[in-house]
């Protein structure tokens, strides 16, 4: 029989309090709002799952969700392969390593709204270096009016901002591969592709799981940059869930639907992340003894 050591609860208590105030209580507030309606004066009426139904059935939500999924998919498809490619091309020793690492880390050190501002100015057709040059070269580019241009601008910005993270993670995976693996591959006459496919990629899998999860969650929650650059436009073309949510909650003060939407939003991220994690770590589970080892 296992006996409970009640003293342990005292040790857990501070952490519980911290988590309660930082996560559980705010989340409960949102849950509270999501099942009630308010007409001001601090009067609330129970509406059950009405708001959830409304949000899930609204076209506005569907469109924003599709935009989010498309954006995340494009981001992952570009940043993951590009990150791997850059990591593979980076030097493994010598002074080049520090130069590359510093250059890679730079975009990650810039605050998100500053990144937005940089690109907002950079891509402007009247004064921005990029926008102006493109226009002068004869391209019909204007991110404030053209939907495709707005998307391209946001995607290029995100790739610029976040590919470094993927690169750094992959690089850390690559440098941890012992030299003997490369030597054995040469002895076995493996091609460059085979070395990548059978040595580097499997050894990078763990960091790639982290990279994919982080990039998915971050890009799915993207708010600041499109808010600064396009403000959700032109029209609603770049109105992602987060932007929509803020408009609903603060712009229109529809607290109930906004709360319901936040919860749905949260659950979608949780669900998709779980799917990614499960699929990508499937191989570990196949050979059970290896699970949990580093």
Which residues contact other proteins by CB under 8 A?
178, 180-181, 183-184, 186-191, 194, 198-199, 202-203, 283, 286-290
Instruction: Please state, in angstroms and rounded to a whole number, the distance separating the CA atoms of residues 161 and 152.
Output: 14
Instruction: Please state, in angstroms and rounded to a whole number, the distance separating the CA atoms of residues 161 and 142.
Output: 21
**Contact between 183 and 100 (Cβ < 8 Å):** no
Specify the residue, 56 or 199, whose C-beta has the smaller distance to other proteins. Answer: 199
> DSSP letters of 26-52?
HHHHHHHHHTEEE-STT-EEE-TTHHH
Specify the residue, 208 or 237, whose C-beta has the smaller distance to other proteins. Answer: 208
In the complex, what is the shortest distance from the CB of residue 82 to other proteins, in angstroms, rounded to a whole number?
Answer: 23
> DSSP letters of 156-177?
HHHHHHHHHHHHHHHHHHHHTS
Specify the residue, 204 or 260, whose C-beta has the smaller distance to other proteins. Answer: 204
Closest CA to 241 of 262, 267, 259: 262
Instruction: Please state, in angstroms and rounded to a whole number, the distance separating the CA atoms of residues 87 and 169.
Output: 9
Instruction: Please state, in angstroms and rounded to a whole number, the distance separating the CA atoms of residues 58 and 51.
Output: 10
In the complex, what is the shortest distance from the CB of residue 207 to other proteins, in angstroms, rounded to a whole number?
Answer: 15
In the complex, what is the shortest distance from the CB of residue 209 to other proteins, in angstroms, rounded to a whole number?
Answer: 15
In the complex, what is the shortest distance from the CB of residue 200 to other proteins, in angstroms, rounded to a whole number?
Answer: 11
In the complex, what is the shortest distance from the CB of residue 174 to other proteins, in angstroms, rounded to a whole number?
Answer: 15
Specify the residue, 181 or 223, whose C-beta has the smaller distance to other proteins. Answer: 181
Specify the residue, 126 or 286, whose C-beta has the smaller distance to other proteins. Answer: 286
């Amino acid at each position: 029989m296992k006996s409970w050591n009640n003293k342990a609860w005292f040790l857990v208590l501070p952490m519980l309090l911290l988590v309660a105030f930082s996560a559980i209580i705010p989340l409960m507030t949102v849950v509270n709002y999501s099942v009630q309606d308010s007409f001001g004066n601090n009067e609330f009426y129970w509406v059950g799952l009405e708001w959830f139904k409304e949000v899930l059935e609204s076209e506005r939500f569907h469109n924003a969700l599709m935009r989010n999924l498309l954006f995340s998919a494009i981001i992952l498809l570009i940043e993951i392969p590009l990150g791997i490619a850059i990591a593979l091309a980076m030097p493994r020793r010598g002074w080049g390593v520090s130069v590359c690492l510093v250059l890679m880390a730079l975009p990650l050190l810039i605050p998100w709204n500053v990144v937005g501002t940089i690109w907002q100015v950079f891509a402007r057709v009247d004064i921005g270096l990029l926008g102006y040059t493109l226009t002068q070269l004869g391209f019909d580019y204007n991110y404030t009016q053209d939907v495709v241009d707005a998307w391209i601008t946001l995607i290029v910005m995100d790739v610029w901002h976040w590919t470094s993270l993927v690169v750094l993670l992959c690089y850390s995976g690559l440098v941890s591969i012992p030299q003997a693996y490369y030597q054995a591959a040469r002895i076995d006459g493996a091609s460059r592709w085979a070395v990548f496919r059978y040595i580097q990629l499997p050894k990078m899998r763990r960091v790639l799981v982290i990279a994919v999860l982080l990039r998915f969650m971050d890009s799915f929650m993207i708010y600041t940059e499109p808010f600064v650059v396009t403000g959700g436009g032109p029209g609603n073309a770049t109105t992602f869930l987060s932007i929509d949510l803020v408009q609903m909650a603060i712009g229109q003060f529809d607290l109930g639907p906004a709360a319901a939407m936040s919860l749905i939003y949260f659950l979608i991220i949780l669900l998709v992340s779980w799917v990614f994690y499960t699929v990508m770590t499937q191989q570990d589970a196949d050979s059970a003894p290896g699970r949990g080892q580093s």
